[in-house]
Amino acid sequence: MWFRIVSYIKFLLNSTDQHGVHSPFVFNYVTKCLYASKKLSNKKSQNVLLKSIGYFEFEKIAISDMQDVSGQVQKLYPKSRSNTKSVDILYTEKLSQEKLKEMLVQGKLHNDSLILINSIHKNPQKKQCWEKLITLPDITVSIDMFHIGALFIRKEQEKEHFTIRI
């Protein structure tokens, strides 16, 4: 409990909104997707997932261990497919560096893939795992939104980390 409170205060002190973003890619994602008025779910992390699928027009979706979310995705985006060889967007509760590296080597993730990790500030272990993931060379853009973290694989972009309030 105390970890989340302290973590949230640190997040608020370090975070910004769209005005602190100097990357055109991230600025557009924040303003045209995350800050779009349409709310698709009451849960912030699921709302980010659903908005991101529509914004990037992702079709190949992998959702780990969350059946209720899979149902929402299928209902809103009937053209979406799961269990494909490559993934446009991965939504998960946890992801280790080793698992991410394995997915990259296998070609499951590609340039322009997005990985959303739920509850990155839930406990010290998840926060530490998040910190390790954003250091990987294949991850060029990372966005900490407190409730959820976004990792982008974009070879054409310089490595940057953002802390953004949604």
pLDDT in tens, the chain (166 residues): 788 888 888 888 887 877 777 889 999 999 999 998 789 998 999 999 999 999 999 999 999 876 678 888 989 999 888 877 899 999 999 999 999 999 999 999 999 999 999 999 999 999 999 999 999 999 999 999 999 999 999 999 999 999 999 8
Closest alpha carbon to 84 in 55, 60, 110: 60
CATH number of 2-163: 3.40.50
Q: How far apart are CA 140 and CA 30, in angstroms?
A: 16
Domain segments of the chain: what residues? 2-163
Cβ–Cβ under 8 Å, residues 120 and 148: yes
Q: How far apart are CA 28 and CA 35, in angstroms?
A: 10
pTM given for the model: 0.91
Cβ–Cβ under 8 Å, residues 105 and 118: no
